[in-house]
Amino acid sequence: MLANALRKALPDDTSITVVDRDDAHHYQPGYLFVPFGAYTPERVVRSRRAQLADGVRFLQQGVSRVDPQRHVVLLDGGDELAYDWLVIASGTTPQPAQTPGLLDDKVWRTSAFDFYTLDGAAALHDALANFEGGRLLVHITDMPIKCPVAPLEFAFLADDYFRKRRIRHKVDITYVTPLDGAFTKPVASAALGALLEDRSIRVAADFAISHVDPDTQTIVAYDGRALPFDLLVTVPLNMGAQFVIDSGLGDDLGFVPVDKHTLRSPAYERIFAIGDATNVPTSKAGAVAHFEIDHLVENLQAAMAGRPLPSKYDGHANCFVESGRGKALLLDFNYDTEPLTGLFPVPVVGPMKLLGESRLNHLGKLAFEKIYWNLLLPGRPLPVPTLMSMAGKVPAETKG
Amino acid sequence: MPTNTIDNRTFTVNAEGFFTNRDEWSEELAAILAELIGIDEMTEEHWAPLRFMREDSAKTGVTPTLRRMQAVGGFDVKHLFALYPGKPAKKMAYLAGLPKPVGCV
């Protein structure tokens, strides 16, 4: 998406190379629907090369390290690739090995599954189909995670799924979070708190996982709490790419520290980062990467021309939240503003309801798949501003 | 914005009572707030993680997670649970004058 935008913005004699270890571009929002059989695994994968504009070179190679002093990328095969400017867009990777006991054969892909990988989501599909009742834990290891609402959506969709199979009464669903609740912001908590109760989904909050006990099939927290499960759906610790860590470019989780407004590395002026790969304090979500692109393109152009970086990203993010039963919510927020109520994308007219449940939002979420492949990736304009507008939105009430 | 006044010092807080301006925080205020949430005496062991959190968040812009407290700060998570029983992440953020760790909703 960024490469396509840069190709349009930069002169023809600037060469742009995309390096990736495979040619499989995944529509990751689709992972959520795979376990429930609504999407097939094949549906979410397409060629990377095919998404790139003419004039963008695609190099299918793994990256082993970046040497920021010498301005080269070291490839897995041993070759070196020199750069004038480097944009790191290597996302996040779930790391189940970071939770002791989780990869034990008695647990992993037997009674414990993730859905943040396509093979995990596909394996979970079979596990759900064979599940006839018991304790289901939907668990987040630690923040930050990619698409932070996905586990909540999973819990809502699981409720729906078991209801349709007429075994909901035999399934005990608990949402397990390291945060102090399923909804951590007061305005969302007030607007949405009842959704979990309505669906008889329990919440175990402040759960800082220490390990998984494969023998008792429980997850154990540092404070001694142990929650038994028949099926554990976990979001493993999310970390940045290994080459980022090995290059010394990452923080403790392997995310690239960048200025949160300009997206440039404070340590290396020829390195920028975008999307989930950065440490910026907003959601790790596709919408963020999308909104960041315009700013990064402008800043990179300025950097190339030796000018001060003009463009300031404000942390704008939005997302649809599937709440099951054919409905969804829409959230819109940035670094400084909590999720707002109101209508989107056109003030007052809508048609989408912010922070409210509606059938139209659900259809919006489904329609997004086509928008993603046909408008977003090729870099066609989308009628949504990258900086957040307060028009027509109702700020959360502040007391006092 | 609501405010809270302790010891004749007024500071702005959010709906849950967390400081909204980290510069209005002081150790004296934190010691008084600690009593209010059931921590009778703030020992050096209690202060060390709070100081780390303030330094770390000044650099990153976010309140560190418990995992980061362990990985970067060198604090033992179990020990943090002993110092701040029940909800250490939330209690420590509250006392350090920082936002509590949040998700996007």
Query: Does residue A210 sit at the B interface (CB-CB below 8 Å)?
Result: yes
Structural tokens at position A6? 């840069």
Of all residues in chain B, what percent carry a pLDDT higher than 70?
Answer: 96
Q: Provide the 10 A C-beta neighbour count for residue A63.
A: 22
DSSP H or E stretch at residue A59 = strand A56-60
End-to-end CA distance of chain A: 45
Tens digits of residue pLDDT in A259-304: 999 999 999 999 999 999 999 988 888 888 988 999 999 999 999 9
Rounded Cα–Cα distance for residues A63 and A139 (Å): 31
- Residue A189, min C-alpha distance to chain B (Å): 7
Average pLDDT in chain B: 91
Chain A CB contacts of B88 under 8 Å are 208
Rounded Cα–Cα distance for residues B51 and B68 (Å): 14
**What confidence score (pLDDT) does residue A195 get?**
84
Cross-chain residue pair A184–B101, CB shorter than 8 Å: yes
Q: Which of A149, A186, A279 sits opposite B16 (nearest CB)?
A: A186
Query: Does residue A267 sit at the B interface (CB-CB below 8 Å)?
Result: no
Rounded Cα–Cα distance for residues B20 and B11 (Å): 8
- Which comes out higher in pLDDT, residue A146 or B52? B52
Q: Which of A179, A252, A317 sits opposite B101 (nearest CB)?
A: A179
**What confidence score (pLDDT) does residue A384 get?**
60
Structural tokens at position A9? 């913005």
Cross-chain residue pair A148–B103, CB shorter than 8 Å: yes
- Residue A223, min C-alpha distance to chain B (Å): 6
Question: For residues A183 and A151, is the Cβ–Cβ distance under 8 A?
Answer: no
In this structure, are strands A271-273 and B3-6 parallel, antiparallel, or unpaired? Answer: unpaired
**DSSP code of A21?**
S
Question: For residues A295 and A301, is the Cβ–Cβ distance under 8 A?
Answer: no
What distance separates the 2 farthest-apart alpha carbons in chain A?
Answer: 64
Q: Which residues contact A119 (CB under 8 A, 6 or more apart)?
A: none
**What confidence score (pLDDT) does residue B3 get?**
87
**What confidence score (pLDDT) does residue A396 get?**
53
- Residue B102, min C-alpha distance to chain A (Å): 5
Label residue A84 by pLDDT band (50, 70, 90). Answer: very high
Question: For residues A354 and A342, is the Cβ–Cβ distance under 8 A?
Answer: yes
Rounded Cα–Cα distance for residues B43 and B84 (Å): 12
- Residues of B serving a catalytic function are 104
Cross-chain residue pair A142–B78, CB shorter than 8 Å: no
Structural tokens at position B18? 């967390």
Structural tokens at position A268? 């290396």
Query: Does the bond joining A345 to the residue before it have cis omega, within 30 degrees of 0?
Result: yes
**DSSP code of A358?**
B
Measured between CA atoms, the residue of chain A closest to residue B57 is A281
Whether the complex's predicted ipTM is more than 0.95 is answered with no
**DSSP code of B85?**
-
pTM equals: 0.89
Structural tokens at position A233? 């759906």
Query: Does residue A130 sit at the B interface (CB-CB below 8 Å)?
Result: no
Tens digits of residue pLDDT in A66-75: 999 999 999 9
Range with the poorest average pLDDT among A74-88, A162-176, A377-391, B28-42: A377-391
Chain B CB contacts of A223 under 8 Å are 81, 85-86
Tens digits of residue pLDDT in B56-91: 999 888 899 999 999 999 999 999 999 999 889 999
> Phi and psi dihedrals of A39, rounded to 5?
-120, 145
**What confidence score (pLDDT) does residue A354 get?**
63
Question: Best mutation site among A139, A223, A320 for testing chain B: the one with the most B CBs within 10 Å?
Answer: A223
- β-strand partners of A220: A211, A226
Chain A CB contacts of B16 under 8 Å are 186
Cross-chain residue pair B67–A317, CB shorter than 8 Å: no
**How is B14-30 classified by DSSP, letter by letter?**
-TTS-BS-GGG--HHHH
Q: Which of B67, B78, B105 sits opposite A185 (nearest CB)?
A: B105
Rounded Cα–Cα distance for residues A364 and A370 (Å): 10
Tens digits of residue pLDDT in A219-267: 999 989 999 999 999 999 999 999 999 999 999 999 999 999 999 999 9
Measured between CA atoms, the residue of chain A closest to residue B101 is A179
Cross-chain residue pair A184–B102, CB shorter than 8 Å: yes
Question: For residues A385 and A392, is the Cβ–Cβ distance under 8 A?
Answer: no
Q: Using alpha carbons only, how large is chain A's radius of gyration in Å?
A: 21
Query: Does residue A277 sit at the B interface (CB-CB below 8 Å)?
Result: no
